[in-house]
Amino acid sequence: MKTREWAGLALTGLSALAMMAAIYAALVYAPTERVMGALQRIFYFHVPVAVVAFLSFGVSFVASIGYLARGGRRWDQVAYAAAEIGEVFASLVILTGMMWARAAWNTWWTWDPRLTTTLVLWLIYAGYLILRGSVEDEIRRARYSAVVAILGFLDVPVVFMAIRWWRTIHPVVFDSSGVNLEPAMLSAFLISLAAFVILYVALLLARVRQESLADEVEFLRRRVQ
């Protein structure tokens, strides 16, 4: 087994351990919030998932710029893998947010600025994935996709700043004065965030590796023909 494969297995194992630690920190270690009660524990998954979604779209943004500037299949592979994983995490953000909204505000959805801009972000990258599957020419597909990923990322700071720019039902947890969390809650959040970041890195490396193997298979298929 190659060193890269061993590293992938080690990272996967670390991710599993980190996720177990995150579950314990969120459900057991963190104290119960006085107003929202046990419902607040969704926070330890909802926010880290959102951070990772933004991170993933950021990776796709940088890789897309790299592709347009320098070319190369690897840039496109990373951009595609990151956008795909980011869309999965963005879906989890919306789903966990809807669960929170239903319990906290008695509605599954409201056209709150944060929710609306997040949905727009999800739709942009859904369009990105549709584009990837509809353009057959590899070069054109990569170029068009890179442009969409770059433009789509512009919505990420809008989503982040929505609760600061407009009136919204979302509370501001992180502001210029610090973090509005008790020490134990902050520790649980950081553990969960670290776990999801490790999981993301493991998924990204595996997905890029899968794309590379697919290219090798296609190359061999063409040679046989």
Q: Are 216 and 74 in contact (CB under 8 A)?
A: no
Domains of the chain, each with CATH number or no CATH? 13-224 (1.20.120)
pLDDT the model gives residue 173: 61
Taking only Cα atoms into account, the Rg of the chain, rounded to an integer number of angstroms, comes to: 20
Distance of CA 133 to CAs 21, 45, 46, Å?
38, 31, 29
Confidence of residue 156 (pLDDT cuts 50, 70, 90): very high
Q: Are 99 and 42 in contact (CB under 8 A)?
A: yes
Q: Per residue in 28-65, pLDDT tens?
A: 998 887 877 787 888 899 999 999 999 999 999 999 99
Q: Per residue in 107-154, pLDDT tens?
A: 888 888 888 899 999 999 999 999 998 888 889 999 999 999 999 999
216 has pLDDT over 80: no
Q: What is the largest CA-CA distance in the chain?
A: 67
Choice among 37-51, 85-99, 174-188 with the minimum mean pLDDT: 174-188
pTM of the model: 0.88
23 has pLDDT over 80: yes
Percent of the chain with pLDDT over 70: 90
Centre a 10 Å sphere on the Cβ of residue 217 and count the other Cβ atoms it contains.
10
CA–CA gap between residue 30 and residue 185 (Å, rounded) = 5
Averaged over 12-39, what is the pLDDT? 88
Choice among 16-20, 138-142, 178-182 with the minimum mean pLDDT: 178-182
Confidence of residue 181 (pLDDT cuts 50, 70, 90): confident
**Coil, helix or strand for 155?**
helix
Confidence of residue 204 (pLDDT cuts 50, 70, 90): very high
Q: What is the residue-averaged pLDDT of the chain?
A: 87
